[in-house]
Structure 1
Amino acid sequence: MSVRIIADSACDLPTSVMEEHGITRLSLTVHLDGQDYKDGETIQPKEVYDAMRNGKAPKTSQVSPQSFKELFEHFAREGQDCLYLAFSSELSGTYQTAKMMQQEVQETYPDFNLQVVDTHCASLGYGLVVLRAAALAKKGKSLDEIKELSTYHFEHMEHIFTVDDLEYLKRGGRVSKAAAFFGTMLKIKPLLHVENGQLIPLEKIRGAKKVLKRMTEVMEERGVDLGDQPIAISHGDDLERAEQLAEMIRDQFGTKDIHIHQVGASVGAHSGPGTIALFFLNAPYK
């Protein structure tokens, strides 16, 4: 490939998919039971969800500076152009660390053509951006061309999601204690979205059955050319509901290309089991 695409594990693309598309992955760290694990390498999402169901509270940390430095230096020595598409800087410090390591490595290798971009995306919304970039790289597009089109995709990527229990987001500081308490007490299912890289509450819906229908309604309100673009659904160990949502979307919009994968360990440690997330473009697919 003319350009090497780099992503971190918060894109929630399985290892097999990343290998198939020639994407290089850097893993965030999951801290559980006093041990450190590499997301997608030494710990899998199911282990994290089972631990959370048993009352455990896993923590996460960003990709280490050393991991960035070693990888960037490796490609610099090879003279390989690189584009690192990063997890939202509003949800992790990974992007800022990458920028620091970029500057350090490019001081040693001034000809190293590396771009580091904050996608403002998470989970498979981020993953769809990465897959588009990888497809362009396979076609031999230049770094600037891939960066430009990737920017278009992440600027128009919608994230619509719900969680099974607001307690998990509360632990991670994503919602207030009061919101989590009342949401649980009243059996309210929150519908959230991502705005400028941040998690923003959208609506409160009473009852789990109504949530999926409302997600397709929001998709219809915001989406463009829904039958002709790839969309993605990620889930927190709830494949049945993810497939139910996919079937609703196929029936309503005729969408053919639907990616369904688990929310990875690093994102799932905050969103928890039972999460359902939907990702699509609010502009024409390019």
Structure 2
Amino acid sequence: MNVKILADSACDLSESYYNEYNIEMVPLTVHLDEKEYADGIEIQPKTVYEAMRNGKGPKTSQVTPQAFKTIFTSYAESNQAIIYLAFSSELSGTYQTAKMMEQEVKETYPNAPIHVIDTKCASIGYGLVVLNAAKKAKNGATIEDIINSAAYDSTHMEHIFTVDDLEYIYRGGRVSKTAAFVGSLLKIKPILHVDNGKLVPLEKIRGSKRLFHRMLEIMEERGTDFTNQTIGISHGDDLERAEQLAAMIKEKFGVEDILIEMVGAVIGAHAGPGTIALFFLDKPAD
């Protein structure tokens, strides 16, 4: 029996990938103008970015326990093997909720082949982990092989990103108000990364011209074998700069396979318009 892959909307994959690889997407929720929207279904990222540019502050919330219980129960009843690869537990409570509901469903269906994995990843870094797992599932790989492969990809996935305005990160509680103000005043562009699932500041670069060159230097320092993997880039409604970064990567490393997607509404609500994020495996699996 083939394994079904589940992911949540924070993986920022477009619908075509869900369809091609038979991935079920579980949406997080975006709150805007006192209304609730299912991320990626009822609201698109551009709407959120436009609202933020107009001074609005969208909020987000995790997947509800009931949603997970309903989904897991339906698969348990048909004895369908599923692997839910979750958005980083350090950035959302969605993984913890899913684990709770997994245990609850297994009280009724003790042998249900339900597996919940914390990827410790976000955006297209998370999306690449999901995509690799879904390709293996489509090719008939076993649960154990898919879980081991996803665990490897999760551990080795680098997230190197920058935000256009520190104010958005400040609102999310990631930097102090003073740091956000001074950074904006001096035109300082932060480079951040994800360390064990958490957002961590890495460096500050003054001026945007140097920014992409430094991101590529970090990529070279941390990564290897780029031509044998898919490189991910996600952007906060700034395709032009994402394509500029992609062109620089192709020229420097000879890479052909680059996946570019917009940062979804949930992560975008915290990172803001103009975000540019780069994802790669520091050491691809053999």
Give your verdict on TM over 0.5: yes
CA RMSD of aligned residues (A): 0.8
Q: In the alignment, is the contact (CA less than 8 A) between 1:229 and 1:285 conserved in 2?
A: no
Q: Deviations over 1:89-124 (max 9, x none)?
A: 000000000000000011111111111111000000
**Distance (whole Å) between structure 2 residues aligned to residue 162 and residue 75 of structure 1:** 39
Displacement after TM superposition at 1:161 (Å): 0.1
For the pair 1:282 / 2:282, whether they are aligned, the reply is yes
| Secondary structure of 2:104 counterpart | helix
* AA matched with 2:163: V
Q: Deviations over 1:141-195 (max 9, x none)?
A: 1111100010000000000000000100111112221221111111100000000
Q: In the alignment, is the contact (CA less than 8 A) between 2:235 and 2:274 conserved in 1?
A: yes
**Distance (whole Å) between structure 2 residues aligned to residue 248 and residue 228 of structure 1:** 17
Aligned residue runs from structure 1 range 126-275, under 5 A: 126-275=126-275
- Sequence identity (%): 64
Displacement after TM superposition at 1:285 (Å): 3.6
User: Aligned residue for 2:71?
Assistant: 71
**Distance (whole Å) between structure 2 residues aligned to residue 144 and residue 95 of structure 1:** 20
Aligned residue runs from structure 1 range 36-115, under 5 A: 36-115=36-115
Displacement after TM superposition at 1:284 (Å): 2.5
Q: In the alignment, is the contact (CA less than 8 A) between 1:168 and 1:271 conserved in 2?
A: yes
**Distance (whole Å) between structure 1 residues aligned to residue 86 and residue 26 of structure 2:** 10
Q: Which runs of 4+ in 1 moved over 2 A?
A: none
Q: In the alignment, is the contact (CA less than 8 A) between 1:91 and 1:198 conserved in 2?
A: yes
* AA matched with 1:47: T
**Residue ranges of structure 2 left out of the alignment (5+ in a row):** none
Question: How many equivalent pairs are there?
Answer: 286
* AA matched with 2:249: I
Q: Deviations over 1:48-81 (max 9, x none)?
A: 0000000000000001111101110111111100
TM-score between the two structures when normalised by the length of structure 2: 0.99
Q: Deviations over 1:196-220 (max 9, x none)?
A: 1000000000111211111111101
| Secondary structure of 1:227 counterpart | helix
* AA matched with 1:195: D
* AA matched with 1:163: V
* AA matched with 2:37: Y
* AA matched with 1:22: N
Displacement after TM superposition at 1:16 (Å): 1.7
Q: In the alignment, is the contact (CA less than 8 A) between 1:39 and 1:265 conserved in 2?
A: yes
**Distance (whole Å) between structure 2 residues aligned to residue 19 and residue 74 of structure 1:** 20
Q: In the alignment, is the contact (CA less than 8 A) between 1:30 and 1:36 conserved in 2?
A: yes
* AA matched with 1:132: N
